[in-house]
Amino acid sequence: MSFNLNFQKKHTYNSLEIGITIDALLRHGSSEVTCLAKVDSGSEFCLFERGVAEAIGNDVESGHNRLFSTLTGNFTAFGHELELETLGLRLQSFVYFPETDSIRRNLLGRQGWLQLVKLALIDYDSALYLSPHS
């Protein structure tokens, strides 16, 4: 049995980098910031560096408080609803920002991104295909 899928966007990523990295644009009100983010299907949530929130004028601690557990310990982050754009696709999303500057990575996880899109990867070709989930 075969399946046909259609996608709006195709992105070729650098296979020499660690992980799959794409541009992410976050908007809060009239402010926006672009950063690099890793596609992370193992991450339950989208998580962005605290500096990203500060760059768009977002008061980090005013968001929904959540404790995150990792292999190396725990940390607190705060969730905020904002616009997240990846590869030209604009999504209303809920993302988290850590309480401290110690988290130095931006992750596109399941809730807030993967559950809002159709995604296909052909790693052999370094190709990522993306469409909004309808």
Question: What sign results for the dihedral spanned by CA atoms 115, 117, 121, 127?
Answer: negative
Statement: residue 59 has pLDDT above 90: yes
Burial classification of residue 71, based on how many CB atoms lie within 10 Å of its CB (0-12 exposed, 13-18 middle, 19 or more buried):
exposed
pLDDT number for residue 49:
98
pLDDT number for residue 6:
95
Average pLDDT over the chain, rounded to an integer:
96
Statement: residue 41 has pLDDT above 90: yes
> Per-residue pLDDT averaged across 40-66, rounded?
97
Tens digits of residue pLDDT in 100-122? 999 999 999 999 999 999 999 99
Tens digits of residue pLDDT in 79-91? 999 999 999 999 9
pLDDT number for residue 63:
97
pLDDT number for residue 80:
98
Distance (Å, whole) CA 63 – CA 75? 15
pLDDT number for residue 72:
87
pLDDT number for residue 79:
98
Q: What is the CATH number of domain 19-118?
A: 2.40.70.10
> Per-residue pLDDT averaged across 12-17, rounded?
95
Give the Cβ contact number of residue 39 at 10 Å: 21
